[in-house]
Amino acid sequence: MNKEISRNVRLGAFVIAGALLLIIGLYSIGKSKNMFGKTFSLSCEFTDVSGLSVGNNVRYSGIDVGIVDEIEFTNDSSIKVVMQIDEKFIKFIRSNSIAAIGTDGLMGNKLVNITPGTFDAPLVEDNSKILSMKIVNTEEMLRTLDMTNRNILVITGNLKEITDNINRSRGTLYTVLMDTSLARSVEHTLVNIQYVSDNLVETSQQLTDITREAGSGKGVLGTMLNDTTMSNELRNAISNVKEGSEKFSKMSADMSEIVDQINSGKGIVNGLIKDTAMANDLKVSLSNIESASKKLDEDLEAVQHSIFFRSYFRKTKNQPK
DSSP H/E element including 262: helix 228-264
Shared-domain flag, residues 2 and 73: no
DSSP lists the bridge partners of residue 42 as: 83, 128
What's the pLDDT score for residue 131? 92
Give the residue ranges of the chain where pLDDT is below 70: 1-3, 26-37, 136-138, 170-179, 182, 217-228, 230-231, 261-279, 282, 297-321
Is 151 part of any domain?
yes
Q: How many domains does the chain have?
A: 3
* Residue 114 and residue 142 share a domain: no
At 134-184, the pLDDT tens digits run: 776 667 778 888 899 999 999 998 888 888 877 777 666 666 666 677 677
Identify whether residues 102 and 155 lie together within a single domain: no
Closest of 59, 178, 156, 143 to residue 109, by C-alpha: 59
Q: Domain containing 25: what range? A: 1-32
For the stretch 233-250, what's the b/e string if a residue is b when 16 or more beta carbons lie within 10 angstroms of its beta carbon?
Answer: eeeeeeeeeeeeeeeeee
pLDDT at residue 57 in the model: 92
Residues 67/53, Cβ–Cβ less than 8 Å: no
pLDDT at 98: 93
pTM above 0.85? Answer: no
Q: Is residue 174 part of a domain?
A: yes
DSSP structural state of residue 126: T
pLDDT in tens, 8-27: 777 778 888 888 888 777 66
- Indicate the residue among 105, 135, 165 that finishes a domain: 135
Residues 127 and 102 in one domain: yes
Domain end residue (candidates: 118, 151, 178): 178
**Do 99 and 155 fall within a single domain?**
no
50 lies in the same domain as 80: yes
- For 185-198, how does the pLDDT look when each residue is reduced to its tens digit (9 = 90+)? 878 888 899 999 88
Q: What is the pLDDT of residue 310?
A: 56
171 and 113, same structural domain?
no
